[in-house]
Structure formats: structure tokens, C-alpha cells
Structure 1
Amino acid sequence: MKHSEIEELIDTRKDARTKLADIKRVDENTLKINGHLYNLIVNKNDGFELGQFENTFNPIFTHFDYIVGDIGYGQLRLKGFYDDQRNVESDLKKSSIQDYLIDYCNFGSSYFVLHNLEASKVKENKKPITRPRNRNHQKSNIQKNHENKPKRQPQKQTKPNHHRKFTIRQKSGD
């Protein structure tokens, strides 16, 4: 198969692909994706192209506070990040976006950053719900486990003692 035939096949599949999101441009820097408002805060080298973004976007990205898109070898790659106040791993926080761009993106490549204006807000840490425990039930289980458990017997030494024995002898006199 020739390279030109492969490219044509890829283009026809891209056109036939069903879009997973309803994306509308509100103004130059604002998008509405599945009812959520997004603000385009960084657009380096005009990396944001609406048609390419529509083909790549997946609704799973609506959970993230920030979406970073970088273009390498003609492909758009998306990665989601959370706000710094969220209780997530440090490599998923907004402060690590720059590290991601340096480590995983081509040098000088085009990229963009979208901010989800309607991302779920940070919830306060609530105390975990505790259930009342039935103490009688726990005690009976503990007693049963101890009663049924066989007692441990000391193990016999199976290996012979390989210590050398030395005796001190007096030198015979000349």
C-alpha cells in the first residue's frame, strides 16, 4: 500500500468518525463543550484548531479543570489537569503543566490550554461516616478464631550442627 493511499484512508476515517461532543465557539477565546464553558488561556503558535479538537475530544475531559492539547507529527494529543487545591497526585495538578510540556511535547511545538470554568468545585474534607458496630458480634468472632486455631508446636532442628570443635593441646617439649 502506498503512503498516499494510507493518508487518504486516514482522512476518510476521520471524516466518518462520530463526534463525541457538541462544541460551539462563543467568542474568540470561549468555547461551549457539552454545556460547559471553557476559556482558551494559552494558544502558542496558533495550536488550537476547532476541527481537530472536535475529532479528538472525549467527554471524560469534562472532569478536569484544565485541558492541555499539543500537536506533534500532525496529531493532537489531549491531557487533563486539576486545579492546585484538589487532592490529587502532583503530576495531575495545574502547576505541573509546564513540566509536562517540557518533558512530553516536542520542542517548539504548538499547544494550547483550556480552562474549564464550570468544573466541579473543590469539596471540603468531610469526616468519614462511621457506622455503629455490634461489639458482641466482634467478640464472638474473635473468641471463635482463637479457639479453633491449632496451637503452634516448636519445630525440631532438622539440620545437624556444623560447628567445628577445637581443642587446645600443649606443644610437646623438645
Structure 2
Amino acid sequence: MITIGHMNFELVEDYREAFNEEEFTEKYSELLNKYDYIVGDIGYGKLRLAGFYRLGKKKIEPDKRVDAIEEYLNEYCNFGCAYFILRKMTKAELKENTEVIEEDA
């Protein structure tokens, strides 16, 4: 689990070991808090972040939904670039994780 401020994320995919927590933390902006998924791609040695919403959210443009991530990577990122995908954890998932940790202790 990756935590930034009050936001918690799960690393869903880490293609070519792109994820670097320190670099992500430096680049992260509160503007990304509204998204359910964050995609980070590395081109020319620079990290770029983009946000996407979960399926089922109303009034969201199709190119900003999670099912558009693959198209985003193919269309807007350098071919074969390293990238990662983070998913924002829900309050229920956080509570469940906390309960599991407490049971293991």
C-alpha cells in the first residue's frame, strides 16, 4: 500500500519496474485526489501522471474511465515506455486491511 497524505493506493501494475515511491510522491498533486486510478508513465526520463475514474461513475467522459488506460498508453505514451497503475483504495478496503493486520498481531 502506498500512502500520500490521507490517500491510499494499491499498485496494480508495474511495467518495467517504473514505480518509484519517492518520485511519485514528489510529482503527485492534490488535483489527482478525485481520480480512482493513477497512471504514471516515464518518457525521456520524466514521470508523467494521469488520472482515470472507475467504471460506473456517472457523467464521465469515456476517455477518462479505467477501461481507456490501455488506449491512453498506446496513443499518448512513448512506445514500450515503463509505466505503473495505482488504484485508490476504498474506505471499506482500508478497514478490512486494518482488521487483518490487527488479527495477525
- The reply to whether TM is greater than 0.5 is yes
Q: 1:95 aligns with which of 57, 67, 75?
A: 67
Question: When you count helix as a share of all residues, which structure comes out higher?
Answer: 2
In structure 1, what residue type is equivalent to 2:47?
A: L
- Offset at 1:89? 0.4
Match of 1:113 among 85, 99, 103: 85
Shift of 1:50: 1.4
* Structure number with larger C-alpha Rg: 1
Q: Measure how far apart 1:36 and its partner are.
A: 2.0
1:48 is aligned, of 3, 15, 19, to 19
User: Is 2:36 aligned against 1:65?
Assistant: yes
Deviations 1:134-168 (A, max 9, x none): xxxxxxxxxxxxxxxxxxxxxxxxxxxxxxxxxxx
Contact 1:82 1:93 in 2 (8 A): yes
Structure 1 runs (4+) deviating above 2 angstroms are: none
Instruction: Go from structure 1 to structure 2 and tell me whether the alpha carbon gap of 1:60 and 1:118 turns closer, same or farther (over 3 Å shift).
Output: farther
**Going by fraction, where is strand more abundant, 1 or 2?**
2
Q: Deviations over 1:70-116 (max 9, x none)?
A: 00001100000001101200000000000000001111110000000
- Structure 2 equivalent of residue 82 of structure 1: 53
Structure with larger RCO (C-alpha < 8 A, sep 6+): 2
Measured in 2, the distance between the counterparts of 1:36 and 1:54 equals 11
Instruction: Report sequence identity in percent.
Output: 37
Q: Which amino acid aligns with 2:50?
A: K
Over the residues paired in the alignment, what is the CA RMSD in angstroms? 1.1
8 Å contact from structure 2 (residues 9, 88) kept in 1: yes
Gaps of 5+ in 1: 1-29, 120-174
